[in-house]
Amino acid sequence: MKGLLWNETPVSVENQQITEIPSEPGLKHIAPGLVDIQVNGFGGVDFNDPTITLADYRQALKALREHRVTCALPTLITNQGQTLEEQLARLEAYRAETPQGGETALAAAPFYHLEGPFISPEEGYRGAHPLEDVMALDDPQAEKWIEAWQTAANGRIRIMTYSPHTDAETVKRFTGILKSNGILPSVGHTHASAAQIHAAVEAGAVLATHLGNACAQLLPRHENPIWAVLAEDLLSVSMIGDGFHLPPEMLKVFYRMKGRGRTLLISDATQYAGKEPGEYHTHIGGDVVLTPERKLHIKGSPKVLAGAAKSLWEDWRHVTELGFASPEELWFAASGAPLAFLTGKEFDWELTPYVFI
């Protein structure tokens, strides 16, 4: 049987077992592909861009695969309901036309992550999401929109990030709507109290999105969502491992608290991941600078991040250098753990084919 391909290198496979691995100069290891559950864009392509073409879509999945990401969740952020519906339908049409995963040269994009629009309207917690499109959990149109989006996505919205900063009854009802639509509820971009986060977990929330980011700069020392999330044993966490969004201490403490299987590394990459360092002009965010260290910041304000610009593979290398967990454990946090979160399996022949590293 013809084997898996990576960089056009054949690997011999029989009965879904690797029987022969050719030697590749400079490549020392073979591992299951990476699974990135939060990718806004990659390689110059923004999944949120309404003018995205089929060629763009494939270019992004190809660039992801070159970075050892074999499964990625295109992530859409807060926008108008109609716009989200159209964008999901567009991406889903491209997905249906594109052979992905397994032996192809493209990352698979079998699911979507909807980050918003049911998030905190508060400054800091809201991050860069547009305030005018933020919706409340008790919006009378909420259920209608969620069903419309899920229909447009062919049932492939797998994660929704939302803020449970309201009464327990509303949180329970909203979280139930997500679950009945086949969506894994994830708390994030939230100023919810510990009790409100607990209500979300009791109702079925299973993840906290990019813990430690999308927060106010100054937090009450005792009562803040970071402690609340860490104390919820049933919540997994995702964390951005690029070295700019979180300091080493937070990455280490989050990993120590949540451990193997409940810590998921994500890139939260923008279209600048996979691009050359330099200055870029954006139509929304103005001018941005991508440094050689892959820090993306607003031009003239080196301390103001403009998003993430490393691939999950680059994040893994950074977090590995911190030394608080083994390279194998951290690879699992970026491959087997997120895959199991999405599908219940730690390995999948199509979604996590082997890659060289």
Question: Which positions lie near Zn ion, rule CB under 5 A?
Answer: 214
- Judged by beta carbon, residue 88 or residue 214, the one nearer Zn ion is 214
Peptide bond into 117 cis (omega under 30): yes
DSSP 299: T
Q: How far apart are the first and last CA of the chain?
A: 23
Q: Could you tell me the two tokens for 186?
A: 């994830």
Q: Are 262 and 229 in contact (CB under 8 A)?
A: no
CB of 268 to Zn ion, least distance (A): 6
- Judged by beta carbon, residue 214 or residue 334, the one nearer Zn ion is 214
- Judged by beta carbon, residue 61 or residue 214, the one nearer Zn ion is 214
CB of 127 to Zn ion, least distance (A): 5
CB of 300 to Zn ion, least distance (A): 23
- Judged by beta carbon, residue 157 or residue 214, the one nearer Zn ion is 214
Single-letter code of the amino acid located at 344? G
Query: Residue 283: CB partners within 8 Å, gap ≥ 6?
Result: none
Single-letter code of the amino acid located at 295? K
Which position's Cβ is nearest Zn ion? 214
- Judged by beta carbon, residue 209 or residue 263, the one nearer Zn ion is 209
Q: Could you tell me the two tokens for 181?
A: 């639509």
Q: Are 7 and 22 in contact (CB under 8 A)?
A: no
- Judged by beta carbon, residue 214 or residue 228, the one nearer Zn ion is 214
User: What gap in Å lies between CA 208 and CA 190, rounded to an integer?
Assistant: 10
Q: Which of 266, 284, 253 is nearest to 214 (CA)?
A: 266
CB of 115 to Zn ion, least distance (A): 5
How far, CA to CA in Å, does 243 sit from each of 1, 66, 293, 308, 314?
Answer: 41, 21, 10, 10, 10
